[in-house]
Amino acid sequence: MSSHIPHVTVDCADPYAPASFWSRVLDSPLGPDDHAGDPEAVVLLPEGPTLLFRQVPEEKAGNNRLHLALRSAGPRDEEVERVLGLGARTVADLRDPDGTGWVVPADPEGNEFCVVRSAAERGE
């Protein structure tokens, strides 16, 4: 017997706000029954697990123990600017002068994620 991961869950105060942000970032729809004020919202990814945002009473405290990493088809720096334009804020800029490294933004709820270099930038 084996198991699978149906969704990755993110605890938050207002599930609709970060779910809407991630829906735009990933160009994937929200669940058809998701609305502002709901205690849960889901982003339906084209493959793999969904992203489930669940309302919890506690505020976020400290660094995430688990985070998402984004690798876009285009240049990392353009993706950083795009997610900032969608409502993220920069937490740390860990880019190196030689072009390696990554940027750590946070979504509207303060959940950190990283934006890494594209496959082309990595020479893959």
pLDDT digits (tens, 9 = 90+) for 79-108: 999 999 999 999 999 999 999 999 999 999
Cα distance between residue 25 and residue 43, in whole Å: 11
Give the predicted TM-score (pTM) of the model.
0.91
The second-level CATH assignment, the architecture, of 1-57 is 2-Layer Sandwich (3.30)
Mean pLDDT across the chain:
94
The domain made up of 66-124 has a fold known as: 2,3-Dihydroxybiphenyl 1,2-Dioxygenase; domain 1 (3.10.180)
Please, what is the end-to-end C-alpha distance for the chain in angstroms?
35
Which whole-number Å values give the CA distances from 99 to 92, 95, 103, 116, in the listed order?
15, 6, 11, 11
For the chain, the structural domain boundaries read 1-57, 66-124
